[in-house]
Amino acid sequence: MRKSLFVALTLLAAAPAFAAEEPSGCDKFKWNIDHARAALTAPDRTKLNSGSELAALPATAVTIALVAPADAKLPTPPERAPKDGTFAGFAKFSGVPKAGSYTISLSNGAWIDLVQDGHFLKPTAFSGATDCEGIRKTVKLDLSAAPFVLQISGARENSLSIVIQPSE
């Protein structure tokens, strides 16, 4: 009994060493983030309130003001339930100039859902790293030339900058 208790305690103490650590540093992203990072840190970012509607994809990054999840009134319940003390919001886009692969990059950590034609779009690729000023996460998705909603949840801060660009 004592031996099994000792083994269990030893394994518990070692568990953090086995946990996967997120990559750290700007050079740890899976693809080049220079353009997205420059857009996310540019001073000319348009400021939007949650629920804003845009006729086209913005040419620059936008900063969306976020609110408590209960106040966000997300059009579709997020795929991942937000944790207490986090922020959420959304923006509606009337259309995409042309169908294709797009990259969405975020300044800070958060969960994003893209809803188009009533369906959640699944990312085709994802990359993220800590300790890279201005950018935390980037995902690639295939969009059709149709309206979509970008939903943000689980953000730790009450605003978040986003840039949407055609994938390279």
- Check residue 20 and give its pLDDT: 54
Q: Is residue 3 part of a domain?
A: no
> What's the number of domains the chain is made of?
1
For 85, left (φ over 0), alpha (ψ -120 to 50), or beta? left
Q: Is residue 4 part of a domain?
A: no
Q: Is residue 135 part of a domain?
A: yes
Q: Is residue 74 part of a domain?
A: yes
Q: Which two tokens stand for residue 157?
A: 């801060």
Distance CA 144, CA 124 (A): 14
Identity at 46, one-letter amino acid code = T
Residue pLDDT tens, the chain, 168 long:
544 434 333 333 443 443 357 789 999 999 999 999 999 999 989 999 999 999 999 989 999 999 999 999 999 999 998 889 999 999 999 978 899 999 999 999 999 999 999 999 999 999 999 999 999 999 999 999 999 999 999 999 999 999 999 997
Q: Is residue 99 part of a domain?
A: yes
Q: Is residue 6 part of a domain?
A: no
Q: Is residue 70 part of a domain?
A: yes
Distance CA 73, CA 92 (A): 13
Distance CA 149, CA 113 (A): 8
Q: From 109, 150, 138, 110, select the one nearest 37 (Cα to Cα).
A: 138
What contacts 30, CB < 8 A, 6 or more positions away? Answer: 125, 127
CATH code, domain carrying 81: 2.60.120.380
Whole-structure pTM value: 0.84
Distance CA 147, CA 94 (A): 4
Q: Is residue 17 part of a domain?
A: no
Residue 62 structural domain = 22-166
